[in-house]
Amino acid sequence: MGEPDLLAAGVQCEHTERFNVFLLPCPNLDIYGECMMQITHENIYLWDIHNPRTKLVTWPLCSLRRYGRDATRFTFEAGRMCDSGEGLYTFQTREGEQIYQRVHSSTLAIAEQHKKVLLEMEKNSRRLK
């Protein structure tokens, strides 16, 4: 599984493209099966395949512990701060590489933003001394 590189630069943008995925059964969720996945600059969303306006689950990207892909799957481990609770979530998909790249670039952008905030806070604390 890929570990996000917290020092690399990323680009923040909103992604509207949705990917066809099949969520494999897992103990933390009552849902599984075919759905649509959307990755934004802050979250992974799962949408109902039959009613595209129905959001099933949201995972904040900052709560992901790790993520990865292979030829037929995309998998991530979510932390306990997620609505679904901590756990490993696996999706069968032919678009694993594209999903991985979206998640990776978005997590890098979050890390870069956090780094900027910390540097600014450090700079401001020096002024107060």
Over residues 5-64, the pLDDT tens digits come to: 433 333 334 557 899 999 999 998 999 999 999 999 999 999 999 998 999 999 999 999
Q: How many CB atoms lie within 10 A of CB 109?
A: 19
The better pLDDT of the pair 1, 86 is held by 86
Look at residue 129 in the predicted model and tell me its pLDDT.
62
Contact 120, 112 (CB under 8 A): no
Look at residue 92 in the predicted model and tell me its pLDDT.
98
Q: Which residues pair with 60 in a beta bridge?
A: 43
Burial class (CB in 10 A: 0-12, 13-18, 19+), 65: middle
Q: Which one-letter DSSP state was computed for residue 79?
A: -
pTM here is 0.79
Query: pLDDT, tens digit, for every residue of 70-126?
Result: 999 999 999 988 888 899 999 999 999 999 999 999 999 998 887 888 888 887 877
Question: What is the separation of C-alpha 1 from the centre of its chain, rounded to a whole number of angstroms?
Answer: 13
Look at residue 26 in the predicted model and tell me its pLDDT.
92
Look at residue 78 in the predicted model and tell me its pLDDT.
95
Tell me: pLDDT of 127 over 80. no
Contact 38, 45 (CB under 8 A): yes
Q: What is the rounded CA–CA span in Å between residue 67 and residue 92?
A: 14
